[in-house]
Amino acid sequence: MEKDKNGAFGWLLSRSGERKREFVLSMILAALITVPLGAVCYALMMFGYEENYKRTVNATKALNAVTTEYIRLGKQSATDSEIEEAAKRCG
C-alpha cells in the first residue's frame, strides 16, 4: 500500500473544486445546526435546576444530621467536635 503524499487530508485535496466547496458547505451547515441544538439541550437541562439543587442540599443536610445522631448514640455526652473527629476517623 502506497503512503499518501498529501497527508491526512489527501482525500480532500484530491477532490475537484466544486466537490471541495460542497464538502466545506456541508461542514458549515452541520456546525450551524449542532451549536444551536446543543444550546437548546443545555437550556432544557438547566430548567428547574434551582429546585433540584435545593432538594439535594436539603437531603445532604438531613443525612449529616442523622449521621451525627447515630454517632452521638455511642456517647450521649459527646461534643460536636468529638463527633466530627469520630466521623473523620471512620472515613
Q: Is 86 helix (H, G, I), strand (E, B) or coil?
A: helix
What is the DSSP-derived secondary structure letter of residue 1?
-
Looking at the whole model, is its pTM more than 0.75?
Answer: no
C-alpha cell at 24: 466545506
In tens, the pLDDT along 2-27 reads 555 656 666 666 666 777 788 888 88
Rounded distance, CA 23 to CA 71, Å? 66
Give backbone dihedrals phi and psi of 15, rounded to 5 degrees, phi first: -80, 160
Given a cut of 50, the residues of the chain with pLDDT beneath it are 1
Q: Report whether 87 contacts 67 (CB < 8 A).
A: yes
